[in-house]
Structure 1
């Protein structure tokens, strides 16, 4: 028997888990790093700090290995961008997906007559999150910096280059840049022209199951590994989260609510939304992930906590558990109160960085408990809005595999099951992207027959069944929620211009 390490390079921390061949976690480490937001729209991180978090975590888990380590497999957050010099040293911090300063560049791209054709080739909705938009923005606002760069890379490419001296990007991460032709599995020439970047300035494209070797002798000694230990390039965190919760079969959707959220389903071929509202990302041969990410998940509950439930001591508002307990005292539908949770703009389903949150239907009889429940319902309605678009492409959902911090709350799980009118299954493992990376690595190494072996590795912790009485209420309310979202959208830009 051997063991494998799954590395998940996330937006706020890097999670590293040591697994045996059955997918059982043996040891783990989690190290965070600061997010720099010193100007409006900014969301940057230090690539060196992220690399240090990877090395620290690897050092901790390799020390706890009980069997030989067969390989290290990688997951990483999407849409990251770092500019490097000739010696692979960063010229910038890492621009994260949440950096919104390329909003004007994204708007320019959306207004181009060939915008839909660009989406149809890349499978990536045009939005400030994408490296494409960020590169257009940098070329316009910091042309000297843009021209100085020798390399334009993602965070995983940066980490792998430092680990083994090879600069590569997998199809899955590349697919989320807006620069990648998903039909031909190569960089898109027109997108590169728009970004003012040459293919020679980007990492070499490889499949997600590609193995690299060549750990530096110093690192190999520090980690207690052979320099020839395979590094499996892996895929993006969203795609691997589907794999890690066993949501890779038709009709099985993965729902994630952490700080943000997403709805994703796996198909055997690319599927694209005629209106360009959904992503289509590569996972592995004959496996594509269709879905939509939302900006507003647990961060909305945090706003409710700190704004609506701040006590006389603002440093000690009610806990999330106390707030959700209050929400259970309110019936489904929050006495006719709806909330649009667009507190941080929105990606899917609106793809509008100017989107604004709103309560609708507020009356004097509503309490803070109503406001709290309406917020939880609004988050789930927003995901249901995305799911409706996904199902139009891929067919109905038969089950929801749910992950993220929200799964610890029975109240929130019930609202999700009732909103979707579908059973919600909670896998026992919370680190879905790390496990997904490990499973992909095991398949690459030939230690499991294929990715479907994940079925034997994911234990389901519990199921939440929909309640028909609540389902009936949400069937009545949801169309009003969606109609309001459509009606409000033309007003967002006017509000965004108001100072």
Structure 2
């Protein structure tokens, strides 16, 4: 009997191959990075060849570390980021860079579309009208006469491109297709109206299949490079957000997963078919019966990384670690002595969907310290996540379980802030590979090795729980309302400031 399963986690900056045993214990892993290119303001591009190469290297390295044979592998399942877009020619090769979710060049098209057909399309696709969306990116390409758009015979995500290179077929799972803004979450087919507006047709898109679909076989050359058999089961998998929820055991109604890395997201599974009238949250198809609903922020630990660079420069230290900043922030009191920060330094997605939103401190006085400034930044990230959570409450069942993950969960201060601001007991798992474990488990479910997706709960060790601090709960409730008012009152200025910056 084969004993190991691989979860391939293709991220926005690295690809990681993690090999688990059947109980979810990490046996081997390998991670390889690639660059993001920003040739102009608001551009965010990657090289799909670099990512595909990193994926191959990650898998082969993780296997070679173990010195196991292909017969030992149950299967491999793929997790990938949403909203990526590549133009492909009739030779099935990329003729454009991969345009990432963070690319903001299509802001004008998004603004116009949101005021015209936007609401109808959002209700059909569940994807907010925003520059992140491949739908809006395609409109930008068409209106700006982007040469690859007119030369392309196909438009795909990074997962689709990798699967074609490895298996020779063009297929896409429900969740990745759903996040394009081109997929109807009711019919589970490409949306005719969205395609017409984007100026493309269904033949230029991949075949949409369930997340449990076995693709392949691997070509002989690729199988040899990956150290696998051509017959090794390859499961198409889903988006990283969906699989992260599975990986922490947030698989049922009312179980909410909050994950913060450089960016962040809060998500839950649902069988309801209600769409937020204000377009504050997304709702993407996962299976024929269930969807993933939630919202993502552009601004997570990336803000602390930015602060670390600024403090390093000011203090003349060669490097200032984020952990150093967190230790300093802990010396400030909850509420940062009345100092507020708007965290939208990278524009914002949920719940505001404002690519021109800006960041900055409010209420700063001569009495405030660097510790107050750092703490206010940390608190603002959680305020924003809580605001997304509140929009879910209006349409969904209340959260009965809040599970956190991501690099931010390594900070006791940040986790305590989460418990206090959310007014919930926070559950931390002992796994740092939630997305990869979710992918691996989905693969075993697809192959009949486990009975259900929910059964993963028995294989997720709980690290500990963090309870809210009563005195902070009351204070943060007042602070949260002020935080929201600060955004609303400054919102009219953001577009003018953006005009001066770009």
Please give the TM-score of this superposition, normalised by the length of structure 1: 0.97
Q: Does the CA contact (< 8 Å) of 1:253 and 1:265 recur in 2?
A: yes
2:89 — aligned with what?
85
Q: Does the CA contact (< 8 Å) of 1:418 and 1:470 recur in 2?
A: yes
Match of 1:174 among 174, 177, 180: 177
1:483 — aligned with what?
485
User: How far did 1:38 drift?
Assistant: 2.0
Q: Does the CA contact (< 8 Å) of 1:172 and 1:235 recur in 2?
A: yes
CA–CA distance in structure 2, aligned partners of residues 265 and 322 of structure 1: 33
CA–CA distance in structure 1, aligned partners of residues 147 and 376 of structure 2: 48
Deviates more, 1:53-62 or 1:122-131: 53-62
User: How far did 1:314 drift?
Assistant: 5.7
Residue 437 of structure 2 corresponds to residue 429 of structure 1: no
Q: Does the CA contact (< 8 Å) of 1:240 and 1:283 recur in 2?
A: no
Match of 2:385 among 383, 386, 389: 383
CA–CA distance in structure 2, aligned partners of residues 467 and 336 of structure 1: 18
Residue 427 of structure 2 corresponds to residue 412 of structure 1: no
Please give the TM-score of this superposition, normalised by the length of structure 2: 0.96
CA–CA distance in structure 1, aligned partners of residues 233 and 469 of structure 2: 48
Residue 249 of structure 2 corresponds to residue 241 of structure 1: no
Residue 399 of structure 2 corresponds to residue 397 of structure 1: yes
CA–CA distance in structure 1, aligned partners of residues 449 and 413 of structure 2: 40
Matched pairs, number: 497
User: How far did 1:216 drift?
Assistant: 0.8
1:304 — aligned with what?
307
User: How far did 1:276 drift?
Assistant: 1.1
1:69-128 Cα shifts (integer Å, max 9, x gaps): 12110100000000011121100110010111111111121121x311100000000100
Residue 193 of structure 2 corresponds to residue 190 of structure 1: yes
* 1:85-104 equivalent positions in 2, closer than 5 A: 85-104=89-108
User: How far did 1:225 drift?
Assistant: 2.4
CA–CA distance in structure 1, aligned partners of residues 485 and 312 of structure 2: 29
CA–CA distance in structure 1, aligned partners of residues 393 and 476 of structure 2: 18
User: How far did 1:13 drift?
Assistant: 0.6
CA–CA distance in structure 2, aligned partners of residues 210 and 39 of structure 1: 39
Match of 2:281 among 257, 278, 290: 278
CA–CA distance in structure 2, aligned partners of residues 302 and 34 of structure 1: 17
CA RMSD of aligned residues (A): 1.4
Which blocks of at least 5 consecutive residues in structure 2 are unaligned? Answer: none
Deviates more, 1:320-329 or 1:283-292: 283-292
1:9 — aligned with what?
10
CA–CA distance in structure 1, aligned partners of residues 402 and 439 of structure 2: 21
CA–CA distance in structure 1, aligned partners of residues 33 and 79 of structure 2: 16
Match of 1:72 among 76, 92, 110: 76
User: How far did 1:62 drift?
Assistant: 2.6
2:365 — aligned with what?
363
Q: Does the CA contact (< 8 Å) of 2:312 and 2:318 recur in 1?
A: no
Q: Does the CA contact (< 8 Å) of 1:272 and 1:280 recur in 2?
A: yes
The runs of at least 4 consecutive aligned structure 1 residues that moved more than 6 Å come to none
SS at match of 1:146: helix
CA–CA distance in structure 2, aligned partners of residues 236 and 144 of structure 1: 29
Q: Does the CA contact (< 8 Å) of 1:282 and 1:288 recur in 2?
A: yes
2:466 — aligned with what?
464
CA–CA distance in structure 2, aligned partners of residues 375 and 328 of structure 1: 12
Residue 63 of structure 2 corresponds to residue 47 of structure 1: no
SS at match of 1:284: coil
CA–CA distance in structure 1, aligned partners of residues 360 and 431 of structure 2: 34
Match of 2:290 among 287, 292, 303: 287
CA–CA distance in structure 2, aligned partners of residues 312 and 225 of structure 1: 50
User: How far did 1:143 drift?
Assistant: 4.2
User: How far did 1:308 drift?
Assistant: 4.6
CA–CA distance in structure 2, aligned partners of residues 460 and 156 of structure 1: 31
Q: Does the CA contact (< 8 Å) of 1:172 and 1:282 recur in 2?
A: yes
1:319 — aligned with what?
321
Kindly tell me: are residues 224 and 362 of structure 1, through their superposed partners in 2, closer, same or farther at Cα, counting changes over 3 Å? closer
CA–CA distance in structure 2, aligned partners of residues 305 and 22 of structure 1: 38
* 1:51-62 equivalent positions in 2, closer than 5 A: 51-62=52-63
